[in-house]
């Protein structure tokens, strides 16, 4: 049976209208946040065989990063049906943005937002955590955030390149403290409790900076779940927890990161965030040597 040509025309028109709206909405956000006028605070380029590691140089390159972030955070993680979009907020214009570009395809395949206290005193993490004592510590601080890697390039090579770029930025800004939200994709109370217990058992979770989630982001059931796991140890197995820990989060732990208190519950992105902190003078020597920090 032949398809109804009128129906086919209607569907085509709807598709065209939807595409036009998505493009209009992206353009509106780019203008709202002044992305076209972006200029970096710190610039460098590192050539590594197939890839280039660099900071975004202009608004067009930053827009590529924002589109990759949309594809990963919104389409993949949040299952949004829009084909195109940008993940952008008011911090992006003030930050630097690490770029991993595949020289074969020309595509941006990895990005990381670099927010240095040299250039701003506004931090994404402060929206989820009470962390004034940490921010008052002496020395330049660097907040890492909005990390994402293209689905086809999630491997150790790209993670190493991200850290190579971060190491370069640390040196150029004389950073003393790294921090940022380490995300884990779960909202299940039992899994949240298991991950928290796992980090506690690793002796990396600390309350020394007095960091805690704000009321809006607090995991209200956490203490109850931890008590349940303590009373029912058969409900906890490390082999169930380790697959939940992303490779990037594990790389923080491998360099000597500490986890500052309880996780925050990010309902928008359907995940939990742990505030990860690395003091440069406490970073593992092997990591410093590998990335020449």
Query: How many angstroms separate the CA atoms of 283 and 254, rounded?
Result: 9
**In this structure, is residue 13 part of a structural domain?**
no
Residues 254-289 have pLDDT tens digits of 999 999 999 999 998 899 999 999 999 999 999 999
**In this structure, is residue 178 part of a structural domain?**
yes
Contacts of 144 (CB under 8 A, 6+ apart): 112, 113, 114, 115, 166, 178, 179, 180
Q: Which domain holds residue 139?
A: 33-291
Query: How many angstroms separate the CA atoms of 157 and 150, rounded?
Result: 13
**In this structure, is residue 10 part of a structural domain?**
no
**In this structure, is residue 77 part of a structural domain?**
yes
List phi, psi (to 5°) of 150.
-55, 140
**In this structure, is residue 18 part of a structural domain?**
no
Are the CB atoms for 141 and 135 separated by under 8 Å? Answer: yes
Indicate the number of domains in the chain.
1
Residues 28-51 have pLDDT tens digits of 999 999 999 999 999 999 999 899
**In this structure, is residue 59 part of a structural domain?**
yes
CATH for 125: 3.40.630.30
pTM recorded for the entire structure: 0.91
**In this structure, is residue 9 part of a structural domain?**
no
**In this structure, is residue 157 part of a structural domain?**
yes
């Amino acid at each position: 049976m032949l398809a109804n040509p009128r129906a086919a025309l209607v569907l085509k028109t709807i598709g065209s209208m939807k595409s036009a709206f998505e493009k209009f909405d992206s353009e509106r956000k780019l203008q709202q946040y002044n992305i076209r006028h972006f200029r970096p605070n710190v610039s460098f380029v590192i050539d590594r065989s197939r890839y280039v590691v660099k900071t975004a140089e202009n608004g067009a390159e930053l827009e590529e990063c924002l589109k990759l972030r949309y594809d990963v955070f919104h389409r993949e993680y949040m299952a949004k049906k829009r084909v195109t979009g940008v993940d952008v907020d008011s911090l992006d214009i003030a930050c630097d943005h690490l770029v991993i570009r595949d020289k074969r395809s020309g595509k941006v395949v990895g990005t990381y937002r670099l927010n240095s206290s040299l250039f701003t005193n506004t931090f994404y993490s402060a929206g989820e955590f009470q962390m004034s004592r940490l921010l008052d510590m002496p020395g330049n601080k660097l907040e890492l955030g909005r990390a994402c890697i293209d689905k086809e390039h999630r491997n150790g090579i790209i993670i190493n390149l991200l850290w190579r770029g971060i190491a370069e930025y640390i040196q150029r800004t004389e950073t003393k403290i790294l921090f940022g939200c380490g995300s884990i994709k779960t909202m299940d109370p039992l899994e949240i409790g298991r991950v928290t217990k796992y980090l506690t058992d690793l002796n990396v979770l600390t309350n020394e900076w007095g960091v805690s989630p704000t009321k809006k982001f607090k995991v209200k059931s956490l203490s109850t779940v931890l008590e349940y796991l303590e009373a029912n140890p058969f409900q906890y197995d490390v082999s169930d927890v380790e697959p939940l820990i992303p490779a990037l989060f594990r790389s923080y732990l491998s360099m000597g990161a500490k986890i500052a208190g309880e996780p925050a519950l990010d309902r928008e992105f359907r995940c939990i965030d742990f505030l990860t902190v690395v003091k440069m003078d406490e970073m593992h020597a092997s990591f410093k040597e590998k990335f020449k920090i």
